[in-house]
Amino acid sequence: SNPTARNRNLSVGENHITEKGATKAKSEICIHTINNNATGTHLKPQSITTMAGLLGTTSSSATSLLTHRSISSSFSSLSKALSFNPGQSQSRRLYGGIRVPVTKGRSRFSVSNVATEITPAQEQAQKLSKENQRPVYPFAAIVGQDEMKLCLLLNVIDPKIGGVMIMGDRGTGKSTTVRSLVDLLPEITVVAADPFNSDPEDPESMGMEVREKLMKGEKLSTIKTKINMVDLPLGATEDRVCGTIDIEKALTEGVKAFEPGLLAKANRGILYVDEVNLLDDHLVDVLLDSAASGWNTVEREGISISHPARFILIGSGNPEEGELRPQLLDRFGMHAQVGTVRDAELRVKIVEERARFDKNPKEFRETYNADQGKLQEQISSARSRLSSVQIDHELRVKISKVCAELNVDGLRGDIVTNRAAKALAALKGRDQVTSEDIAVVIPNCLRHRLRKDPLESIDSGLLVIEKFYEVFS
């Protein structure tokens, strides 16, 4: 009788009403609302009342039934994404309000281990976010802490040194110094729209998709970008660190895609862990695995994928809050100890500089632009000169002799000391390593690798220096 409901079809279940079960018939009634314009059309109260009389129920129960149907229709796009091929026999079941045909045939749900690519819109958004990010304290404005700053610069010049562990008192500028390194990081060439920052010239730093394109002879589009610094918070989950399945693509496109994590983002960059001695053990195991092999392998939710994860591992912490696991401590190439400044004049200068930065960060950063530019040029020239730096065989033998007499386990100490000495020579603009270069870097390379004696009162760095002068005469 309602003229507005003429183009709606109301069907009351076929042959469901029997003499024995009128109540059962009410529960098996299916209501379908069909409209030419959109799905999930809402009926007027008059129509609901009329339908309630036809069904032999109250208007409130009819309203709840229609409401359930309208909510179920909102998942129509999801049910299309989960569609299956029709088989020989099929039945319908209701899963959470979604009518899904269940078949005996094979599913059309395709599987592909495809990494989520970065779109141009996402790249533009990243650039805008970098421009609008909070200002960073300039590296050139750091007062004192020369040992820590030198270790950081040497790792930027030669990432193969293996990172640096910074331990010291609270409030000594450890995190500030590490984060200020962002402005000095040089640019590198990466494959465009690649989530792993693949190197177009080094197969060991390429993702699987980029390597397949290269084997097929396809031309790789490249861009210049700054070395990335990634912060690993203490509360991060293992899925976020390693990567996991892309739920959005699984629901919208029906593919199992890999969503890269922080290790993929840090490839060919810097991974910084503040308060690393408080990091959970399961995350420490992940870092150990990736730092040892340079690759991150993910096996979960039907996904099996490996991608390069070569990064400079930088950690900081306070030794009073807990010791670091020896396995992870050995993965750091260098170890820097930071102490509180005792000179009153220097302390006043640090306080005044910090007050100036807090008052007007932009103006404060502009006063150090010249010094920052000189440091950037020095780092760039040192990186280009590094391959030509030589170290005499006699000096190599003496380095290994120091390591052997200090009972250093493994050969990482020998390798890191050689690399750090070359990086220091390149930073000073020389092509030849001298014994003075080795004397500067060898305490930082071997201090954390010595076996600790609980009864020893002398600092391990002083032990290394004493043994160095004994061997090098």
> Cβ(191)–Cβ(200) under 8 Å?
yes
Bridge-based pairing of strands 229-231 and 270-274 is parallel
Beta strands (DSSP E) in 63-192 are 90-95, 98-103, 114-115, 164-168, 187-191
> What are φ and ψ of residue 304, in 5° steps?
-130, 110
Yes or no: say if 234 and 321 are a contact pair by the CB < 8 Å rule.
no
d(CA 414, CA 145): 25
Q: Which helix (H) or strand (E) holds 374?
A: helix 369-385
Q: Which pair of structure tokens corresponds to residue 195?
A: 């989530």
User: In 3D, which of 296, 295, 287 has the Cα closest to residue 330?
Assistant: 287
Encoding tokens for residue 48?
A: 């609901």
- Are 165 and 276 in contact by the 8 Å Cβ rule? The answer is yes
Please report, as a single letter, which amino acid is at residue 66.
L
- Contact call for residues 112 and 257 (beta carbons, < 8 A): yes
Task: Report the alpha-carbon distance of residue 173 to residue 169 in Å, rounded.
Answer: 9
The token pair that represents 426 in the structure block:
């390149």
Whether the CB-CB separation of 199 and 189 falls below 8 Å is answered with yes
Sheet holding 270-274, edge to edge: 229-231, 270-274, 312-317, 164-168, 334-338
| Tokens, residue 420 | 């750090």
In this structure, are strands 303-308 and 222-226 parallel, antiparallel, or unpaired?
unpaired
Say how many residues make up the chain: 473
Cα–Cα distance between 182 and 185 in angstroms, integer? 5
Written as six digits, the tokens of 290 are: 């990736």
β-pairing, 270-274 with 312-317? parallel
What residues contact residue 464 under an 8 Å CB cut-off, 6+ apart? 402, 406, 442, 443, 446, 447, 450
What's the CA gap between 82 and 101, in Å, rounded?
A: 9
**Which residues are CB-neighbours of 448 under 8 A, at least 6 positions away?**
165, 329, 330, 332, 335, 460
Which residues are the active-site residues? 412
Contact in structure between 232 and 238 (CB atoms under 8 Å): no
